[in-house]
Amino acid sequence: MQFMLLFSRQGKLRLQKWYVPLSDKEKKKITRELVQTVLARKPKMCSFLEWRDLKIVYKRYASLYFCCAIEDQDNELITLEIIHRYVELLDKYFGSVCELDIIFNFEKAYFILDEFLLGGEVQETSKKNVLKAIEQADLLQEKIE
């Protein structure tokens, strides 16, 4: 995976995870263009589109779009599973997650993602293990603070 973006229906960015080195300017440009492209899609259209030399896999959950950019040889269908797994993790952690949770707790959203994916690849396939890791980190944080 090259990057993952989360954005609202109004095009406001809620999370950006980049797994390739790009300048700030380039990131902004890509984000702007991609957000526009995805928001222009009609609701019944399929979840895949070609954009530049990448494949884009996106899915809308309530008011948030989850958008991943994968390479030519990557499997689109499994990417949908990746997105879904991430949403499940957020849901379990926040208890019925909604966009506001992600806005007000964006650092947590990142921490959870970083326990699921690493360097653009899946690191942990057990939901239980990911949530356990976060729990332990949270405890560690509290302990010292």
Partner 1 sequence: MVVPSLKLQDLIEEIRGAKTQAQEREVIQRECAHIRASFRDGDPLQRHRQLAKLLYVHMLGYPAHFGQMECLKLIASPRFIDKRVGYLGAMLLLDERQDAHLLITNSIKNDLSQGIQAVQGLALCTLSAMGSAEMCRDLATEVERLLLGPSPYVRKKAVLTAVHMIRKVPELSDIFLPVCAKLLHERHHGVLLGTITLITELCERSPAALEHFRKVVPQLVRIFRTLVTTGHTTEHSISGVSDPFLQVQILRLLRILGRNHEESSESMNDLLAQVATNTDTSRNSGSAVLFETVLTIMDIRSAAGLRVLAVNILGRFLLNSDKNIRYVALTSLLRLVQSDHSAVQRHRPTVVECLREPDASLSRRALELSLALVNNSNVRAMIQELQGFLEFCPLDLRADCASGILLAAERFAPTKRWHIDTILRVLTMAGAYVRDDAVANLTQLIGGAQELHAYSVRRLYSALAQDISQQPLVQVAAWCIGEYGDLLLEGSCEETEPLQVEEEEVLALLERVLQSHMSLPATRGYALTALMKLSTRLRGDNNRIRQVVSIYGSCLDVELQQRAVEYNTLFQKYDHMRAAILEKMPLVERGGPQVDEEAKESKEAAPASTDPQASKLLDLLDLLDGTSGDAQQPPPLDPSPEGTLIHLLDLPCAPPALAPIPNLKVFEREGLQLNLSFVRPPGTPALLLITVTATNASEGDVTHFVCQAAVPKSFQLQLQAPSGDTVPAQGGLPMTQLLRILNPNKAPLRLKLRLTYNHFGQSVQEIFEVNNLPVETWQ
Cβ-proximal residues to 54 (8 Å cutoff; 6+ apart), any chain: 2, 69, 70, 71
Q: Does 22 bind partner 1 (CB under 8 A)?
A: yes
For residue 98, the one-letter residue type is C
Q: Exactly one of 39, 49, 87, 131 binds partner 1 (CB under 8 A); which one?
A: 49
Site for partner 1 in 52-71 (CB under 8 A): none
Q: Exactly one of 29, 36, 52, 136 binds partner 1 (CB under 8 A); which one?
A: 136
Cα separation, 91 vs 96, in Å, equals 5
Q: Exactly one of 9, 33, 71, 137 binds partner 1 (CB under 8 A); which one?
A: 137
Burial, 36: exposed, middle or buried (Cβ in 10 Å; 0-12, 13-18, 19+)? exposed
Nearest of 64, 50, 81 to residue 13 by alpha carbon: 64
Q: Exactly one of 8, 39, 61, 80 binds partner 1 (CB under 8 A); which one?
A: 80
Q: Which residues bind partner 1 (CB under 8 A)?
A: 12-16, 18-19, 21-23, 28, 42, 44-50, 73, 75-78, 80-82, 85, 103-107, 110-111, 114, 118-119, 121-129, 133, 136-138, 140-145
